[in-house]
Structure 1
């Protein structure tokens, strides 16, 4: 996909012409096939497979096709395929701003059920976009490369570490490339709105030759191998899964504030199988589905028994709704990307 991001809508519509297919996995019906469901999602197939397997225990006649697509391509592919035989039945994405844009532009089918009513107000919008899980946005470090005495617990401490005379993070720090990563762009704009030191931190990352990548997994591969010592602003669940598997990683939820990204589901108006999409969404939001997301897929559940799904004191959920459209404005996006690029590129050695 082109990196020349000048006009958002123009870019995404143009990119839709060439957006490459994602990784596709077909989950055949466990019994006589009576229904089909096509899901386009940004969650890794290996993570979501356990969820689909459990759903098929309840609905053995449903064949599920899951396509793992990066966030921007998911948006572009939907615009390209929505009126074709390849149209998805359900979109599941951590790109909250792009999901919001699809809803705002009239592409979503409303759905009400006891399960959707149980979703906290901060995690749904217009009964058309629903949070199914949430992700704390964290720093991840290599426990062998960064001594505990140097591990930052706030953005101010990270800034001090980046400015330290011995430069422990020189060429050893990474983050999302927000020109290629929609989630990275969302997080960077949220930091700019919430954090008074966001500009200084970005400049210090640039001074230290920050490594920029599109996918969370690539960043975690590099910090796990020791190529990087620390990565900033990445999704937490992927790191925790690697820690559970024995990787030498530590996770930090910044104590000043920890952003929370929703993994949202939306049923398109053009869904070929809307009833199956509604049924699957209700499963995801049910007590059983939320338990599977939590225990098996290691994703944090939205709906909690006996609670409102409040993610915690220092966690700051990014609110679904029209406020997310502000930085999708073409002029604002171009200005933000220009400023970001000048900080992370011009100072690199």
Structure 2
């Protein structure tokens, strides 16, 4: 992957986020992005995360210990509905339990990105839902869900004063991570490493028969696929030209399809979150690699909210605070998601948000807003997409 020089951005909110994220980044990065796709030297272990149990920053409310006491009375349980893998959660749960030793049982399922909301609404309609926390990166579905008005706890974390504005996604919804969408590719099947959709499209044009049915692409019928490609084409209209070449030869995928790229069923796949892709990079012996698109890298925040009827509401508030804290963001990074907080120590085979900014530059970062897309805009996008597949 090629490291490019950051350029100025026309997006004010993103500019502020990027400036925040890049403070001190030179000292944090080890300049091994091109070699191993991450900010820590190859072979380096995950940094030890020091957890200060029973201690809280000075900017926390004076009565914060009362919230902790209320959580302890809830029995040490927490139920999370999410679309997040267990390997991503593992360090977060480990360190949250260190912070609060009375937490004994955290249950987290792995649903579809918009299935999280469907299940909660269905359960509430027939009785009550056991969900305390909801975590998913389905931006549009979050906006729809939050608009109902009676489904989320309107809790304002004290950590919101210490993180970028970007982390405050919606009233009652905060970001847990900010994850980049990448192009994955099989090095044995590509004549040269793709650097973006345009680069991939150029190779397809040069030898279309080589790529027939050999490109995986996220299906826009899913909330996730629609969200990332709609954001890409809205911010970078030139992406439609690349898609016009790629789509006719591609196959829709409801998942990252990393195993198909690794096995050679696909030469490449787009757009794939870095989180599930990096473990494959690590274990592939150089056969599987990823690229941050230099013609537009979509960054999708992973939203976290507390259910209005959370059975363990106090514990859920502690968890939201923890995921935004310096301790929690380090654990998020160790789990393979992208932390956006300043001062996070580099972890091999991961990107921090600062890494992403450093590699592609502010101008080519597309931050997905948590807002509803109108029916007319959705229909127009879908019609254009489908017309290119023929």
CA root-mean-square deviation: 2.5
The answer to whether structure 1 residue 125 and structure 2 residue 169 are counterparts is yes
| SS in structure 1 at match of 2:343 | coil
Aligned residue for 2:313?
274
Aligned residue for 2:253?
213
| SS in structure 2 at match of 1:168 | helix
C-alpha distance in 1 between matches for 2:79 and 2:262? 34
Query: CA offsets, 1:236-277, max 9 Å, x none?
Result: 121112212335211111112211111110112222221111
Aligned residue for 2:134?
91
1:233 to 248, 261, 271: 271
Q: CA deviation at 1:81?
A: 2.0
Q: CA deviation at 1:202?
A: 2.4
Aligned residue for 2:145?
102
Q: CA deviation at 1:126?
A: 4.4
C-alpha distance in 1 between matches for 2:243 and 2:232? 10
1:330 to 375, 380, 383: 375
Return the TM-score normalized by structure 2: 0.72
Q: CA deviation at 1:317?
A: 4.3
Return the TM-score normalized by structure 1: 0.80
C-alpha distance in 1 between matches for 2:93 and 2:312? 16
Aligned residue for 2:37?
none
The answer to whether structure 1 residue 79 and structure 2 residue 121 are counterparts is yes
2:323 to 281, 284, 289: 284
Task: Note if contact 2:183-2:196 (Cα within 8 Å) is conserved in structure 1.
Answer: no
2:343 to 302, 305, 318: 305
Q: CA deviation at 1:71?
A: 0.8
| SS in structure 2 at match of 1:196 | coil
Task: Note if contact 1:108-1:266 (Cα within 8 Å) is conserved in structure 2.
Answer: yes
C-alpha distance in 1 between matches for 2:77 and 2:213? 48
| SS in structure 1 at match of 2:229 | helix
| SS in structure 1 at match of 2:328 | helix
Gaps of 5+ in 1: 1-30
For these two proteins, the number of residue pairs brought into alignment is: 304
Larger strand proportion, structure 1 or 2? 1
1:137 to 181, 185, 201: 181
Aligned residue for 2:388?
343
| SS in structure 2 at match of 1:161 | helix
The answer to whether structure 1 residue 320 and structure 2 residue 369 are counterparts is yes
Q: CA deviation at 1:137?
A: 0.9
Task: Note if contact 2:131-2:310 (Cα within 8 Å) is conserved in structure 1.
Answer: yes
| SS in structure 1 at match of 2:115 | helix
Q: CA deviation at 1:112?
A: 2.1
Task: Note if contact 2:80-2:131 (Cα within 8 Å) is conserved in structure 1.
Answer: yes
Moved over 6 A (4+): none
Query: CA offsets, 1:276-328, max 9 Å, x none?
Result: 11111111111111111112x1111122239x96651245242434xx312xx
Gaps of 5+ in 2: 1-71, 345-351
Task: Note if contact 1:32-1:60 (Cα within 8 Å) is conserved in structure 2.
Answer: no
Query: CA offsets, 1:149-176, max 9 Å, x none?
Result: x222133222212211454322211111
Task: Note if contact 1:136-1:236 (Cα within 8 Å) is conserved in structure 2.
Answer: yes
